[in-house]
Amino acid sequence: MLTTQLLVFAHILALAAFFGAQFAMLYMLLPAAERAADEAGRRAILIQGFRFYNPFTLAMLGVLVITGAMRLTDIKAAMAADYFARIGYLLAVKLGLVFGLVFIQTYVTFGLAFRIGRQEEVAAHGDGLPFTVEKVNSMLARIRAMAWVTIVLSAAIVWESLKLVHLIRC
C-alpha cells in the first residue's frame, strides 16, 4: 500500500510541477523578458529561462507517463478480465489527451523554445544570423498559445482521471 501511495504522490507532484511551470513561463519568464532594456537582454532572459523550462517540463511529463503506467499496471492486474469493460473507453480518451499533451509540449520545447537559444549560439559562432525580432515575437506568440493549450489539456486529463478513479473504486 505504501508503494501505491508513493506512486500516486509522485504522479500528483509531477503534475503540479508541470502545471506550475506553464504558469511560471507565462507569468514570470515572458513578462520579465518583455521588461528587458534591449533586445539582447530580452533574448538572454529568454534563453536562460528556457534552459530550465525545457528539460524540466519534459522531465515532469516523463515522470507522469512512467508513474501513470506503473499505477495502471497495478490496476489492470487487480481488475483482471473486467479491466477493458470497466475503464477501457475512459482510458482511451485519457491516453489520447496525454499523447496530445506530450506532442504539443515537445513542439513547444524543441520546435520553438530551444531554437531561440540555439540560433543565438549559431550566430555567436558566425555560422548564421540570429532570428529577427519579428521571428522571435512570432515564436513567443506560438509558445504562449501552446502553453495555454497544454494547461487546458492538463485540466482535461485531470478530469478524465477523476472519472477513472470513480469507476475503479465502484
What would the pLDDT profile of 123-169 be if each residue is shown by its tens digit? 889 888 989 999 999 999 999 999 999 999 999 999 999 998 888 87
Q: How far apart, in Å, are the Cα atoms of 108 and each of 1, 28, 44, 158?
A: 37, 17, 18, 21
5 contacts: CB under 8 Å, gap ≥ 6:
none
Q: How sure is the predictor about 92, in pLDDT bands with cuts at 50, 70 and 90?
A: very high
- Nearest Cα neighbor of 77 from 4, 143, 22, 17 is 4
pLDDT of residue 65: 96
Q: How far apart, in Å, are the Cα atoms of 11 and each of 4, 19, 32, 37, 147?
A: 10, 12, 30, 40, 20
pLDDT at 67 over 90: yes
Residues 90-110 have a mean pLDDT of: 96
DSSP state letter for 114: H
pLDDT of residue 169: 78
How much is the mean pLDDT over the chain? 93
Give the structural domain span for 85: 2-169
pLDDT of residue 170: 64
14 close to 64: Cβ distance less than 8 angstroms: yes
pLDDT of residue 109: 97
b/e map 89-112, b = 16+ CB within 10 Å? ebbebbeebbeebbebbebbbeeb
Number of domains in the chain: 1
